[in-house]
Chain A
Amino acid sequence: MMLPHREQMLLLWLFVQAAVTVTWCFTDLEPGPGVGAGFQAQANGDRFKIEGRAIVPGIKTQDWVSTARVLVEGEEYIGFLRTDGSFAVNDVPSGSYVVEIVTPAYRFEPVRVDITSKGKMRARLVNYIKTSEVIRQPYPLQIRASGPHSYFMKRETWGWTDFLMNPMVMMMVLPLLIIVLLPKVVNTNDPEMRKEMEQSMNMLNPNPELPDVSELMTKLFSGSKGTSKAGSSSSSSSKGTRSAVKRR
């Protein structure tokens, strides 16, 4: 009795979900008169002017001023740059503002400008975390571009040197060289030499009880399937030891 009822419910709810998600509101939500009123009240106070100059070292001002704007606290107040790179943002009431120069080509650091109700100005570094910290900057503002914007990532290019200097390749190539070259240099048929080499090998492997990785693997895969679980854990441990060896 319960089940069919439940299924029906589920189906219904599938539709409800869809119905409500597509429901979209057509009510006009616009900032009402409240904001405007607040602004009006401020407008009665004195208005001030933020002045300064922007410099892009080594570039003629004519080449970049037409794309630049001075933004005071976002787009709350906007100024434009004169042909000599200086600027003035008019009609700014007292308060504290972040002034930034935006151009698509060059990067300028923003500056915080404080204006008292009497019109005294000061400029300081922008610090959004410690907002009251004061590190003075010159006023009228002198903003120097810190270089062009970097918009692009560098493509990874492929070169022989990069390839050869890759640690993985080095690790592969060196043992290969040893394997190929060593038998030619040293006469392996000499029994004395063979003994010596065995000794040195033992020196390299200080822990004779530790199972050899390759041996372990062969044992694993040739062995019964039931031990596969143990195998996975041991292989991971062997990897660990290998990496440990490498790191040393």
Chain B
Amino acid sequence: MGKLILLSLKFAILFFTVEAVFEDQVGKFDWRQQYVGKVRFSHFDTHVQSSKKVLLATENNVFAAVNTRTGELGWRHVDKTGPEGNIDAFLQYGQDAVLVIGNGRLLRSWDINVGGLNWEVVLDSGSFQSACLVGQQNTVKQVAVLKKAAISLHYLSNGHQKWIENLPDSETVDYQTVYSGGNGEVYVLGVVPHSHITVVAYSVEDGEIIKQYLVEAPWLSNLQVSCTVVSQGVLTCIDSATVSLYTLDLHAQSQMTQMPLQTLGLELAPGFHPTLVSSQPNPSHPPLSEFLLQLGPDHYLLLQLNNGHVVTLRDLKPAMLVTFVTTGDKTVAAVMSPKNRTACSVNLFSVETGRRLLDTTLIFNIDPNGGKPEKLFVQAFLKKDDSVGYRVMVQTEDHTLTFLQQPGRVIWTREEALSDVVTMEMVDLPLTGTQAELEGEFGKKADGLMSMVLKRLSSQFVLLQAWISHLWKLFYDARKPRSQVKNEVTIENLSRDEFNLQKMMVMVTASGKLFGIDSNTGSILWRHNLDNIPANAAFKLMVQRTTAHFPHPPQCTLLIKDKDTGLATLHVFNPIFGKKSHITPPALTQPILQSLILPLMDQDYAKVLLLVDDQYKVSAFPSTKNVLQQLQEMASSIFFFLIDSSQGRLSGYRLRTDLSTELIWEVIVPPEVQRIVSVKGKRPNEHVHSQGRVMGDRSVLYKYLNPNLLAVVTESTDTHQERSFIAILLIDGVTGRIFHEAVQRKARGPVHVVHSENWVVYEYWSTKSRRNEFSVIELYEGMELYNSTVFSSLDRPHAPQVLQQSYIFPSSISTMEATLTEKGITSRHLLIGLSSGGILSLPKMFLDPRRPEIVSEQIREENLIPYAPELLIRTEWFINYNQTVSRVRGIYTAPSGLESTCLVVAYGLDIYQTRVYPSKQFDVLKDDYDYMLISSVLFALFFATMISKRLAEVKLLNRAWR
């Protein structure tokens, strides 16, 4: 019987720890933002006049359709990262979008209406050069793909190869361009640098070479950069050395004609490499005879080739960006020119005449915290009166896409820099103005008892007033329909809520743009684009001062390090407003090896940042006298470690009083056998509530809570599946003592590690069984605690007991993190980013090395789940239900003011923010709490007592009469 009760109890507990989202909570605490990345190619869907799509092919190997009215994603296809999914070319015809992917490995055609694949074919190997659509008699039926040594023609309808031909002399000739003017011929143009151009014309029908000839061009080195085909197949080139335009009629087999720019009355900006742009609105027709020539950074010319003569139609100066756009049978040139320092204007020019079209001005305001315009995409359409209307999509240097219409109204903006978040922090919001004033009262020096009392009374009155107005607002809003109540969050009305659930998310992106995002709504409150960010920069964001130290503003420091040189710069800013701090950070002249935030504070409550340079010299920021003095006092107890993964060296250092360092330990991991993949310590803001675990026999198993413990993961350099292994080392960061080493044979990375409390969980790929496996290591001190008051790495004679268990996980994962709460009372969950886009919240209870194989009475009492080799993935445990997050790169967890609640941000291509309650919401009423029921029961009871009291009185009276 007892067993039965226990079992049922256990099931009840198991059932209750299963945490899931309720359907009515969708979108209540969570939001998702989807991104695509920096745009490489873009086409507006023009095949239907009413279409509302713009297609984007990005540098993140994403192909997506964005709704032009709202800026939201219609559909999105995320390919593999790296060069294999790289989009080389994007051609659009009708409702088909043809992409060349992975250096010409794949040719894919998408149906842009449905967002599904039409076909995909594998192309022969060879590096991709160029692709074009091939049309005849007003229809486009084929696509030509030019590779290093071959050209192939594919049907647009099914992708089948029509023909493939090897290019003549492909060892010597560098074929770069393919061109088709719709006359049944495909021209392939190759160049032998500084010698000649090779022209080969193929028949579209059977791939036979129609003609092949050489043209002398000793000045030419690259066709793609300096040449283009205009008009009826006239190859036009520009050369900066001879300052001339060259033209060659591809059909005539003649020589190149040289036209010095001087004869055209043109001048080239010194040192500038000129370029040519032409337009071929319909692939089955030859290109327009008008083309653009860029002569300087802000100087364009609209030229026309007329019977072998070049005529200047319009001198466009200043012009930052120029592009051709066609709608119907009209082609115009859209020109962006600077207006003043904060705005640009866009105008349309008729291509035939070069005249500016009336009423086509559009103003684009440049965000002072953004970047300069980089690319211009124009959507043109014919208005009812047959004039050309247009909207523009501007891409700026900070990867922002802005879609505007005349006269300058922004329809939507997409911050595509957020597709590549590198690191982030969550910062508490400041108190409201009145609260802050109240706080400030305590900091001030006292000026008399009476005035203090008065001040206190007045501030309490202000608070009361604020509270009443808040109540009034609540009452007022309650009468309005929910959709009308809008709480616009702006930087001015930001304030902390009761439970500190709303925070400021400071996000650092790879492009060097910083964002401040409100965690409740996901709206971007500030943005700041950093200039001069090296391409391969590493970022580390540190909170030096939180909002707790009013009136000192909060302070964040971003360390930006060039990975090649190791040189670093510091950017100090206010995380709430995004403004750069007036504090000038020290100039760092030496490469930085390590940075650490100390718990020491200067007199302004800013935590001290230590930077270790390659001479092992330490510098502090802020470096006031106060700080240096504190550092000197504390120096003997400040330790840090350095990792050199190339040499496999882990070394521990101690700070000396003169801020030099002293090597105290060193561990060498032989780099020819294994290499260090990652090193994980514990999070400094983590709290552990219980020191031990109560066993079935009421004894306590104490946890080994060493805050200095590091988990070092290594992978074997031998990747053969029989010999590869991964290893995990548990090292004390102060003494260098190795507590434990676990080796998984026949396993390989990528290894994902979470290190927290007294446990390390890691995930790897088992090459033997071809599955993902989880392993958990837990460290225990034993039944007795050596020194329960304080932990010291130097004074712990007993090695911890190590328990380990492994499990099978039926999916591959992309990242892993543990939940974090204020006091650490709530049970822990692991948040696992799956490759399917789900974020699984797996109770740590399932990853417990004490899970028994044979269940006994005592173990039942401890609530251990019997061991099962396979961990389950239940979709109810997905914290993001169907809001999948692509390519999750990191999960950030932060505690809130409520012990039960942990804030979670998953970032990758998308950003998803939500709250999780690992032990359910035990400290607040659930949001489905039935107020009606409880109040009706209360009232009913109240009336029942009243009535029964009355009845009892009547009865007593009656009895007395009897």
Contact = CB atoms under 8 A, between A and B. Distances in A.
B21 A29 contact: no
A201 B817 CA distance: 63
A222 interface: no
Interface in B924-943: 928, 930, 933
B23 A19 contact: no
A80 B878 CA distance: 24
A169 to B, nearest CB: 13
A131 B769 contact: yes
B596 A153 contact: no
Interface centre among A18, A27, A105, A156 (most CB of B within 10 A): A27
* Among B118, B789, B875: residue with most chain A CB under 10 A: B875
A15 B634 contact: yes
Contacts of B79: 78
A26 B118 contact: no
Contacts of B869: 129
B771 interface: yes
Q: Considering residues A26, A47, A67, which has the most beta carbons from chain B within 10 angstroms of its beta carbon?
A: A26
Contacts of A57: none
Interface string B614-641: 0000000000000000000010111111
Contacts of A129: 808, 869-870
Given A12-B636, A27-B645, A22 B116 contact: no
Interface stretch (B42-50, B248-256, B317-325, B671-679): B671-679
Contacts of A31: 677, 749-750
Interface stretch (A69-77, A186-194, A205-213): A69-77
Contact of A67 (B75, B599, B933): B75
Interface residues of B, number: 98
A13 B708 CA distance: 11
B538 interface: yes
A17 B771 contact: no
A18 B704 CA distance: 16
A220 B23 CA distance: 51
A207 to B, nearest CB: 18
Nearest to A87: B117
Interface stretch (B357-365, B429-437, B587-595): B587-595
A66 B641 contact: no
Interface string A49-71: 10000000000011001110101
B563 interface: yes
B453 interface: no
B836 A102 contact: yes
Given A27-B643, A151-B878, A20 B733 contact: yes
B835 A71 contact: yes
Contacts of B114: 62, 65-66, 83
Interface in B150-182: none
B681 interface: yes
A32 B645 CA distance: 10
Contacts of B78: 69
A63 B789 CA distance: 62
Given A10-B789, A22-B597, A65-B114, 20 more contacts: A9-B792, A10-B792, A13-B793, A14-B790, A16-B639, A17-B707, A23-B594, A27-B645, A29-B643, A34-B717, A65-B115, A65-B117, A75-B814, A78-B85, A79-B120, A81-B116, A82-B117, A102-B835, A128-B769, A153-B22
26 contacts: A9-B792, A13-B793, A15-B634, A16-B793, A19-B640, A20-B639, A20-B681, A20-B734, A21-B707, A22-B599, A25-B643, A26-B595, A27-B642, A29-B678, A37-B719, A61-B116, A65-B114, A75-B812, A80-B77, A87-B117, A91-B105, A102-B836, A102-B837, A128-B810, A131-B770, A152-B23
Interface of B: 1, 18, 20-24, 75, 77-80, 85, 105-106, 108, 111, 114-120, 122, 538, 540, 559, 561, 563, 592-599, 634, 636-645, 675-679, 681-684, 707-708, 715, 717, 719, 733-734, 749-750, 769-772, 789-795, 808, 810-812, 814, 835-837, 869-870, 875-876, 878, 881-884, 928, 930, 933
